[in-house]
Amino acid sequence: MRRTVGALLRKELLVELRTLESVPGMSLFAVTTFVVFHFALNRDSVSGDLAAGVLWVTLLFASILGVNRLFVADADQGGFDSFLLAPVDRSALLIAKALALLAYLLVLELVAVPAFALLLLGPSLGQALPGLLAVLLLGDLGVAIIGTLVAALAVRTRARDLLGPLLALPLFVPIVIGGARASSPLLALDHPGDPAARWLITLALYDLLFGLITYGLFDFLLED
Amino acid sequence: MNALQLEGLARHYGEREALADVSLSLPEGQTMVVFGSNGAGKTTLLRVLATLLRPHGGSVRVFGSRLPEEAWAVRGRIGLLAHEPLLYRELTARENLRLHARLHGVGLARVDELLELVRMDGRSREPLRTLSRGMVQRVAVARTVLHDPQLLLLDEPHAHLDPAAVETLDALIGAPCGRTRVICSHDAGAGLAEADLVLGLRAGRPALLGAAGELSVAQITGLYR
């Protein structure tokens, strides 16, 4: 299983490295959105709830671009068939795709979070960074799992570009809420605090729940 | 033992009947050639046998395993050469074959051996999108036989190949390979010469079924009128 996941993940990253179809688009979208917020909000900086909301909504919309592209090469170039003909556990594809999407999200945040801090954030990010990274990682896990499920569901339909976001966004809402509430104290101007523990737990439980649902459904999604 | 045993196989796409009433048996090591005009059901038949499509009626056994329930038991024993090469365009021939080797638990030395056999060792480090369609077909043949499958499902295997390449690949997918083969073809003369069993499909139903020795080229070309 580990070898299969490793081989599939290597393929994912190689294809993305050569086509640059997902990560640059996601990053550019996020930075552009922060620029738009910077002017649209008509204020020098944001903090607290507003800062957390702007950050999470932007990251989730940017992640949709990656979700939509996740299975396109497999569907268009026969990679699905090639994989289905192999005598391997189907879950390997789920794990490899989720890990690939997770890697894309981490690279996205490597670009987007400093851009957010530079363009919009009032308080300095330094003290809040470890806590924010923990919240982002929990959110990323959920987005990667749900994104993989939704992408696998949408890619075989004719309206995949529309169906992907339509299915993903409602499922991402609890992640936005949990992520924004957990990171709001970290981004507060006066009293930067710890991430709200109950929202961290909520995020972790949501990740676990969808991890189990996706694991249970994924085989079925790949079948004819 | 029969490699294939089909009883009343049916498959449809929505309301449209793609295959119906297909019953036949093919002993191990023999070759069946499937003829039929475009849309007659040849590719659907191959995809059902490859375990990629579920049969909607009848019974299908591949090497004694019933599909789709026991598909897992035969997947590693099937090699499918489809219309599409089932390869990633952004990866090189070597990277594609290495991925396939890892999925099938095959040693990477086999990749180099096959690249040499299909005469692609010189261009094996270039992305597939930069290669000609004939070269990609040679890599696709290497992918098809990489895991040494016992059953070859070949959809117009000589498409895009020049005569020299056809000769080169004969040892891998031609009669000398000794594997059970199901070939979709439009070439009545060449197909009949290769076949032990001939299946002619018309609108998804068998219009012709018999030993190759008992059929003529004229009967096969009649399927297309």
pTM confidence score? 0.89
Residue A13 tokens read as 């990253």
Phi, psi of A30 (to 5 degrees): -65, -45
**Taking a C-beta distance cutoff of 8 angstroms, is the pair B139, A40 a contact?**
no
CA atoms within a 13 Å half-sphere pointing along the CA-CB vector of B20: 10
CA A11/CA B91 separation, integer angstroms: 8
Do the Cβ atoms of B51 and A19 come within 8 Å?
no
In total, the C-beta contacts within 8 angstroms joining chain A to chain B are 74
* Residues 6 or more apart in contact with residue A84 via CB below 8 angstroms: A90, A222, B51, B52, B75
Q: Among partner residues B75, B84, B99, which is closest to A11 by beta-carbon distance?
A: B99
> What number of other Cβ atoms are within 10 A of residue A159's Cβ?
9
CA A112/CA A109 separation, integer angstroms: 5
Which residues from chain A sit within 8 angstroms of residue B90, using beta carbons? 14-15, 18-19, 73
Report chain A residues touching chain B, CB-CB < 8 A: 3-4, 6-8, 10-11, 14-15, 18-19, 73, 77-79, 81-88, 223-224
What is the ipTM for the molecules in this complex?
A: 0.86
Which residues from chain B sit within 8 angstroms of residue A82, using beta carbons? 86-87, 100, 103, 143
What does the pLDDT profile of chain B (225 residues) look like in tens digits?
A: 899 999 999 999 988 999 999 999 999 999 999 999 988 899 999 999 999 999 999 999 999 999 888 998 999 999 999 988 999 999 999 999 999 999 999 999 999 999 999 999 889 899 999 999 999 999 999 999 999 999 999 998 888 888 888 888 888 898 888 899 999 988 888 888 889 999 999 989 999 888 888 888 888 888 887
Cβ burial B86-121 (10 Å sphere, 16+ → b, else e):
bbbbbbbbbbbbbbbbbbbebeeebbeebbebbebe
